[in-house]
Amino acid sequence: MKKNKLSELSVAELETKLKDDISALENLRFQKALQQLENPLKIKEVRKEIAQIKTVLREFELGKRVTDEKSKQTQESEK
C-alpha cells in the first residue's frame, strides 16, 4: 500500500491493517520455513508496509498528524 493512502486511513483502520500484516508476515515466514514460499520478496514488502504503518501511528501519537475529528474541531473553533 502506498504511504499516501496510509495517511488517509483512521487510527483504528491502521491498527487493523497492522494486525493483518503481522499475521501475514508470520504466515509468510512459516511458508518459508517449509520451503513453500513462491515469492520471497513478499516478506520484504510486508515488513516495509508494517514499518510504514507504525510510522504513521507514531505520528498520530506525537500529534504530527491529526485525526479528522480533531481537524474538524480545530476548524470549528477558528470560526
* pLDDT at position 3: 75
Number of Cβ atoms within 10 Å of the Cβ of 21: 21
Check residue 77 and give its pLDDT: 54
pLDDT at position 68: 59
Query: Domains along the chain?
Result: 3-70 (1.10.287.310)
**For every one of its 79 residues, what pLDDT tens digit does the chain have, with 9 covering 90 and above?**
777 788 888 999 999 999 999 999 999 999 999 999 899 999 999 999 999 999 999 999 888 877 655 554 544 455 5
CA angle 68, 3, 74 (to 5 degrees): 20
pLDDT score of 2: 75
pLDDT for the residue numbered 54: 94
**pLDDT at 48 (0 to 100):** 95
